[in-house]
Amino acid sequence: MQLASLSTLNYRNLAPGTLSFPAGVTGVFGENGAGKTNLLEAAYLALTGLTDVTRLEQLVQSGEREAYVRADVQQGGSLSIQEVGLGRGRRHLKVDGVRVRTGDLPRGSAVWIRPEDSELVFGPPANRRAYLDALLSRVSARHAGHLARYERTVTQRNAALKAGEDWSLHVWDDVLVKLGTEIMLFRRRALTRLDELAREANAALGSRKTLILTLSESTTPETYAEDLAARRSEEFARGATVTGPHRDDLTLTLGEFPASEYASRGEGRTVALALRRAELELLSERFGEKPVLLIDDFTAELDPGRRAFLLDLAASVPQAIVTGTERVPGTAQTLRAHGGRFTPEEEAAPADPVTADPVEAGA
């Protein structure tokens, strides 16, 4: 999978235009607010159709009504064109001119590593559940379908609970148990591999503590129907479905303790990076090729070991785009970001061994 070029129009602060990306690492450096994150966000959206922004109009340049991003994607010798049009609350996707849904874009096409990934570790359980759901939805379209239907069912069932509609609950319960059971079983199967990959990555990052990923389930596939029935009066009182996979947590145990409560900031950052490398590996295994790797602000990573890990990871995949406030070492292409524009730069010339050191040069 390779992003041959990215075009944007009216996307956040990015100047309209097209950027080409070679194989290898593209380094993008520039001052704060130059548009580096926006570039990666646009690339991720065009490659995957995904964005974590709930209000799509935030992505549209202020003063404009619509935005557009396009990725020319090279995959196994053929080129395809992926387009995303954005308007007020709307997102239109096309592949080679044909309208598609998000799940129809190549699901293993990109992984995005960001400084705010620490929130996967220290944020609320919903963050870890969202990481797991998003990743597993990319691994399996069937699972994505089950999740979407399950969430709709929870919403409808909650409305019935709030309205005190005792008579309609058995209909929702049947659907909930069927979908919830599928979701729990798939999560359990996928987690076996994800746990191994995250553990390996955490060790590769130099952590001396073992990382273990487990599901903290509010119910089980075997007992879901009974557990629902047992909590019926509580559910009516709260007007909400209180048990099921929408309440489960992905627990990250580092050494002996839950990372979310006990890990140091640095340990948490290492765990977050391990989760992202595990995501990269799981998608590579599933789709038989490495995703495009997008690393936002490697300069925010102050620890030399983790910074080297990020740069090594970028060098290990066929294509990566790495941003920072300093030049990225070892790149195939360097772009300087300024005011939403990206200008190709010559690689910094290697220092002249004779004149580089003024003491030596003057001697």
Ligand X SMILES: Nc1ncnc2c1ncn2[C@@H]1O[C@H](COP(=O)(O)OP(=O)(O)OP(=O)(O)O)[C@@H](O)[C@H]1O
| Interface with ligand X, residue 54, by CB under 6 A | no
d(CA 95, CA 81) in angstroms, rounded, equals: 6
Residue 325 found at the interface with ligand X (CB under 6 A): yes
Contacts of 70 (CB under 8 A, 6+ apart): 6, 7, 8, 46, 81, 82, 83, 84
Residue type, 149: R
Q: Out of 18, 20, 58, 216, which residue is the one contacting ligand X (CB under 6 A)?
A: 58
Residue 53: CB minimum distance to ligand X, A: 10
Q: Which is closer to ligand X, CB of 28 or CB of 205? A: 28
Q: Which of 54, 55, 62, 78 binds ligand X (CB under 6 A)?
A: 62
**Residue indicated by tokens 């041959």:** 4
For residues 32 and 78, which CB has a smaller minimum distance to ligand X in the complex?
Answer: 32
Q: Give the nearest distance from C-beta 54 to ligand X in angstroms.
A: 14
Q: In angstroms, rounded to a whole number, what is the distance separating the alpha carbons of residues 147 and 129?
A: 12
Residue from 6, 8, 12, 228 touching ligand X (CB under 6 A): that is: 12
Stretch that binds ligand X, among 60-68, 80-88, 175-183, 311-319 (CB under 6 A): 60-68
Residues contributing to the annotated binding site: 30-37
Rank residues 181 and 323 by Cβ distance to ligand X and give the closer one. 323
Considering only 33, 124, 239, 305, the residue that binds ligand X (CB under 6 A) is 33
248 alpha-carbon distance from chain centroid: 20
User: With binding defined as CB under 6 A, does residue 343 bind ligand X?
Assistant: no
Among residues 3, 6, 25, 34, the one that binds ligand X under rule CB under 6 A: 34
Of 34 and 135, which has the nearer Cβ to ligand X?
Answer: 34
Our finding on whether 26 is near ligand X (CB under 6 A) is no
- Shortest distance in whole angstroms from residue 86 CB to ligand X: 10
Ranges within 293-322 binding ligand X (CB under 6 A): 297
Q: Applying CB under 6 A, does 36 fall inside the site for ligand X? A: yes
126 contact partners, CB below 8 Å, separation of at least 6: none
Q: Is 37 in the site for ligand X (CB under 6 A)?
A: yes
- Residue 38 interacting with ligand X (CB under 6 A): yes
Asked if residue 43 binds ligand X (CB under 6 A), the reply is: no
- Confirm or reject binding of residue 32 to ligand X (CB under 6 A): yes
Binding residues for ATP: 30-37
Residue pair 288/318 in contact (Cβ under 8 Å)? The answer is no
- Compute how many residues bind ligand X; rule: CB under 6 A: 17
- Which region, judged by CB under 6 A, interacts with ligand X, from 16-24, 54-62, 156-164, 201-209? 54-62
Structure tokens of 231? 């909590």
> For binding to ligand X (CB under 6 A), which residues are involved?
12-13, 30, 32-38, 58, 60-62, 297, 325, 337
